[in-house]
Amino acid sequence: DGGITQSPKYLFRKEGQNVTLSCEQNLNHDAMYWYRQDPGQGLRLIYYSQIVNDFQKGDIAEGYSVSREKKESFPLTVTSAQKNPTAFYLCASSPTTYNSPLHFGNGTRLTVT
């Protein structure tokens, strides 16, 4: 089955530690995205990538970093500079053809204490 796999589902970290969230897709999509979801705020874009080795900042990129070394993989690192990292993180992908929808993974819930 084609899809997007995010791991782990739950992640707990101490404040001051960097943490990396995994996202893998086997849909052969060119574009990949990271969103953050907080109650009552919808989905906010952190980073996106249209092609391997290239990515752009979204609306809330501060305190996050990404890499895109392979088409299938788009890991997100939440750094210690992110002031409020506890949230539900969603990875998505889409083909870059006209008017194509996003396909989402099932998310990683990160709790930082």
Partner 1 sequence: QQQVKQSPQSLIVQKGGISIINCAYENTAFDYFPWYQQFPGKGPALLIAIRPDVSEKKEGRFTISFNKSAKQFSLHIMDSQPGDSATYFCAALLENQFYFGTGTSLTVIP
Which residues contribute to the site for partner 1 (CB under 8 A)? 4, 6, 31, 33, 40-45, 48, 50, 58, 90, 92, 94, 96, 99, 101-107, 109
Question: For residue 111, what are its two tokens?
Answer: 């709790």
Measured from the CB atom, the residue of 32 and 112 that comes closer to partner 1 is 32
Beta carbon of residue 56, minimum distance to partner 1 (angstroms, whole number):
9
The three-state (H, E, C) secondary structure of 83-110, written as one string: CCCCEEEEEEEECCCCCCCCEECCCEEE
Residue position matching structure tokens 């907080």: 38
**Whose Cβ is closer to partner 1: residue 17's or residue 100's?**
100
Between CA 50 and CA 53 the distance in angstroms is 9
User: Which C-beta is closer to partner 1: that of 11 or that of 31?
Assistant: 31
Nearer to partner 1, 41 or 84 (CB): 41
Closest approach, Cβ 80 to partner 1, in A, equals 26
Residues 6+ apart with CB under 8 A from 78: 18, 19, 20, 21, 63, 64, 85, 89, 110, 112
Tell the smallest beta-carbon distance from residue 67 to partner 1 (Å).
Answer: 19
| 110 backbone dihedrals φ, ψ, rounded to 5° | -105, 130
Q: How far is the CB of 70 from partner 1 (least distance, A)?
A: 20
